[in-house]
Structure 1
Amino acid sequence: MSTSPAAEVRGSDDPEYANNLRRATLASSVGSALEYYDFALYGLASALIFGQLFFPALGTGAGIAAGFATYAVGFFARPFGGIFFGVLGDKLGRKWVLMATIGLMGGASTLIGVLPTGEQIGIWAPILLVFLRVLQGLGAGAEQAGATTLMAEYAPVRRRGFFSALPFVGIMVGTVLASIVFYLLGLVDQQIVHDWLWRVPFLASILLIAVSVFIRYRLAESPTFVQLEKQEQEQHSPLKEVFTKSFGSVIRGIGLRMAENGGSALYQTLAISFITVYVGVESWVGPLAIAIGATLGVIILPLAGALSDRFGRMPVYRAGVIIQLVLAIPAWWLMSQGNVSVIIPVLALTYTLSINVMLGAQCATLPELFGNRHRYVGVAVSREFSAVLAGGIAPLIGASLLTATTGSWIPLAGYVLLLGAITLWATFVTPETRGRDLTLHGDALSDTAAQIAERPLATVGRS
């Protein structure tokens, strides 16, 4: 079988393709920035202030756990959003679905900024918060899967790992923005923060929505989806096909995400709550450490993607898991000692080195695992079910462990080790996908030896 035109290495001498590639990168990156600004903002708020604002009668420990419970609700909603919008994305195209999801997610985040607190309307405050968190989760459930799929389908095949990682730089930008916001809030009189200032970061989401919609409106449809339409081969039951023909790919995708997504949630939310409430450092320390780590991630993410083009997806992914496993015990022990000058670099480096190396390799891996007719929903199901199993419940379980053990760091380190072990296993049972033709209808698990032999190998020269 010869390599299809959509899978060929496209050159920079094609101005139309180069312009569309730039637009796709920008559209995906801004959407990722909004998603992770909102999710990191919500996670930090859950760790630091939501317990007092929306669950004032529960006390400090139970209030934090309740805040993390609302955080988890968003992750439980994400698979439903991923499935619904993923099916639409495989039927109608990537562009318009991404327009809808960014509006839903960002609109819900903006409305959180106008919610009354528990002292103002009692039980209705957490009910409304959960409702908006569900809407936020529904939109986010398809947003990142769509951005991942769109960028992988646009990227030059020999540099797909690098280009697919670029939109995820938006994740780091969003995380940096949210962390800086809470760092600054930590420097302000906390009474002012609790009275009204906490609302401003959520209301600011509307600005990112406007920019994202404007950019995505001007974006051309994914070239592989256009080819699918021309051949009149759109899959009318993509969800059914994913669960009947791609179950093995979904399981591998979920396994790959456990350490990356779970570790990210633990370090971005629970670690901050741990060092603030149980270790006793000031509230600005954790957000500053995450902001530094996310800033470093702007470099590490695309570098890991480029390395996956050179050495393969699974070797780079495996390296990230091993880093997480090696650092787990010393990192949590060092954070428990309470030395701010140690906590900041330890949390920043542990978060960015392990999570972003895995994520850099993952960006191209998940779209390459699935066939063209059900790629969007396949990536969405893998990402979002793992988001529930790993990211959504990780802070809630961790907070419960902290309460049960009176703030011991040992169960938290053990939890990180468990997630890492699952993902390490997944890297050994997932096929290497580097250079795969994204116009193929079958998954990578069904590729023949001849198809694998035809794949372009390492990055060579210009793409």
Structure 2
Amino acid sequence: MSSSNEVVVDRSQLRKVALSSLLGTVLEYYDFILYGTMAALVFGELFFPSSNSVVSTIAAFGTLAAGYAARPLGGIVFGHFGDRLGRKSMLIVTMVMMGGASFLIGLLPVYESIGVLAPVLLVILRVVQGLAIGGEWGGAALMVIEHAEPDRRGRWAGIMQLGSPIGFLLSTVVVMVISLLPDDSLHSWGWRVPFLISALLVLIGLYVRLSVVESPVFQDALEDNDTDEKAKTPLMKVLQRPRPLILACAAGIGPFALTALATSHIIAYTKEIGYGQSDVMRALVIIAVLSLITIPLFSALSDRVGRRGVALAGAIGAVVFAFPMYALVDTKSALWLTVSLLIAQVIQNLMYAPLAPLLSEMFGTESRYTGVSIGYQMASLIGAGFTPLIASSVLAATGVSSLPLSCIVLVTALISGLAVWSIAETRGRDLTAGFGEPASSAADRPAHDGGVRVE
């Protein structure tokens, strides 16, 4: 960095970076929600046929977990090269891999056509998808955070994180449309259409992503690093000081578990207790629209009151609402189902919205991609990857009771709440700290306005 620690912010480039990251996150969540929804609706029958529909659904959710298991590995691989070679190049690779895997899933023959090879190929493509997603979110978050002014990181990260509800909304609407098809059409070709559409999202995303410039924070750090420091791998640097990584992972478990239960698994659960599919899908669309408001709002709020305050409010809300949430769902009323999911979504957004700036401000520049990606993806693996599988298995073993589901919400929220409580406030930290140094507070530097100049 320059001696003055001054970072030049190009607003036009920042807007382009935010759009690029948004499109990548849209694709990520579109694929995530789409796969989870199809696992609940048709994948069990098409790829894992069984005389017991519950067993088929559990097997289908198992492939969902397989994709999540690959995410931390993707975080390590893309994090390593992202910290060594740059954020932009890795994000181009992850976008192509994500969209390509989804497109190929849409072309897969089913079990009836090629037997056991069908689920094997499905798992392979799901793993490829997981590897790519493992490097996507961390890189997208850093491109925005490292371009933005210190006092507006949450606001700009909120734009990127709109990809979650937009991807969710796109996926849900597409599934609602194809669900109108007769069962024969849905099972023969209709389920393929949403996966094939992902190719269009990739083309749009690549067009924007190729035009952005590399993170200025990364470029300056790359120039300033000495030879000895460059010889240390980003992963080793993260593991030498594991506390931030552990806390980053734990902080994300609660929101991921809640979103997995309230989006993917809720489809299977409500089907079991007698809800109509249209009522559930309508409720999911409504909560996605709500998130278009709450995510950027809560993310920007973290710039004012701190990351910890916003995330802790969500964790406390999840603890309090864990049992009322399913009590409302169990009324079998479409109205109370919608109310329950709306409240759950607000709580989830409180926990989720500050994650991008919070995690990004916990690591030094030269290991930030690795630390953020592994922490986030381990949280997604534990919180969301196994939750639908565990929930379905518990319900199959104990009968259709919501008590175990409420317990999952409660325990995971407590884990995240305790983790966030243990993290020192990160708002405004200096992202230009040297290789291996902890991020320092912006208040410790002499430059005005966080050392940022806007052009």
- What range describes the TM-score normalised by the shorter chain of this pair? over 0.9
Question: Given the alignment, which residue of 234, 237, 244 partners 1:241?
Answer: 237
Query: Which residue pairs with 2:248 in the alignment?
Result: 253
Query: Structure 2 CA distance, aligned partners of 1:439 and 1:58?
Result: 58
Contact residue 3 and residue 454 of structure 1 kept, 8 A: no
Contact residue 361 and residue 439 of structure 2 kept, 8 A: no
Which amino acid is 1:48 matched to?
L
Q: CA deviation at 1:176?
A: 0.4
Query: Structure 2 CA distance, aligned partners of 1:75 and 1:441?
Result: 32
Query: Which residue pairs with 2:316 in the alignment?
Result: 322
Query: Which residue pairs with 2:5 in the alignment?
Result: 4
Query: Structure 2 CA distance, aligned partners of 1:66 and 1:367?
Result: 35
Aligned to 1:154, what secondary structure does the other structure show? coil
Q: CA deviation at 1:457?
A: 12
Contact residue 181 and residue 190 of structure 2 kept, 8 A: no
**1:417 partnered with 2:373:** no
Query: Which residue pairs with 1:94 in the alignment?
Result: 87
Query: Structure 2 CA distance, aligned partners of 1:97 and 1:377?
Result: 12
Q: CA deviation at 1:244?
A: 1.1
**1:344 partnered with 2:338:** yes
Contact residue 369 and residue 443 of structure 1 kept, 8 A: no
Q: Within 5 A, what are the aligned runs for 1:17-56?
A: 17-56=10-49
**1:296 partnered with 2:290:** yes
Deviates further, 53-62 or 379-388: 53-62
Q: CA deviation at 1:441?
A: 3.1
Contact residue 249 and residue 443 of structure 1 kept, 8 A: no
Query: Structure 2 CA distance, aligned partners of 1:404 and 1:170?
Result: 36
**1:136 partnered with 2:137:** no
Contact residue 434 and residue 457 of structure 1 kept, 8 A: no
Flag the 1:125–1:454 CA change in 2: closer, same or farther, 3 A.
Answer: same
Q: CA deviation at 1:453?
A: 4.8
Q: CA deviation at 1:451?
A: 6.2
Question: Given the alignment, which residue of 257, 261, 264 partners 1:269?
Answer: 264
Contact residue 428 and residue 442 of structure 2 kept, 8 A: no
Aligned to 2:214, what secondary structure does the other structure show? coil
Query: Structure 1 CA distance, aligned partners of 2:380 and 2:266?
Result: 18
**1:261-304 CA distance string (max 9 Å, x none):** 1111121111121001x211122333322221121111111111
Contact residue 6 and residue 447 of structure 2 kept, 8 A: no
Flag the 1:381–1:402 CA change in 2: closer, same or farther, 3 A.
Answer: same
Q: CA deviation at 1:48?
A: 1.3
Query: Structure 1 CA distance, aligned partners of 2:267 and 2:436?
Result: 39
**1:60 partnered with 2:56:** no
Contact residue 39 and residue 57 of structure 2 kept, 8 A: yes
Contact residue 328 and residue 417 of structure 1 kept, 8 A: yes
Contact residue 44 and residue 269 of structure 1 kept, 8 A: yes
**1:279 partnered with 2:280:** no
Q: Within 5 A, what are the aligned runs for 1:42-191?
A: 42-191=35-184
Q: State TM-score, norm by structure 1.
A: 0.92
Deviates further, 38-47 or 450-459: 450-459
Aligned to 2:429, what secondary structure does the other structure show? coil
Contact residue 364 and residue 439 of structure 2 kept, 8 A: no
Question: Given the alignment, which residue of 321, 324, 334 partners 2:328?
Answer: 334
**RMSD between aligned residues:** 2.2
Contact residue 267 and residue 347 of structure 1 kept, 8 A: yes
| Unaligned ranges ≥5, structure 1 | 11-16
Deviates further, 133-142 or 294-303: 294-303
**1:307-329 CA distance string (max 9 Å, x none):** 11111110111011112122211
Deviates further, 313-322 or 186-195: 186-195
Query: Structure 2 CA distance, aligned partners of 1:382 and 1:455?
Result: 32
Query: Structure 1 CA distance, aligned partners of 2:413 and 2:442?
Result: 31
Query: Which residue pairs with 1:13 in the alignment?
Result: none
Contact residue 310 and residue 350 of structure 2 kept, 8 A: yes
Q: CA deviation at 1:57?
A: 2.2
Q: CA deviation at 1:154?
A: 0.9
Query: Structure 1 CA distance, aligned partners of 2:67 and 2:75?
Result: 12
Contact residue 316 and residue 361 of structure 1 kept, 8 A: yes
Query: Structure 2 CA distance, aligned partners of 1:336 and 1:64?
Result: 21
Aligned to 1:198, what secondary structure does the other structure show? helix
Query: Structure 2 CA distance, aligned partners of 1:229 and 1:365?
Result: 23
Q: State TM-score, norm by structure 2.
A: 0.94
**1:196-232 CA distance string (max 9 Å, x none):** 1100000011001111111111010011011112324
Which amino acid is 1:317 matched to?
A
Query: Which residue pairs with 1:192 in the alignment?
Result: 185
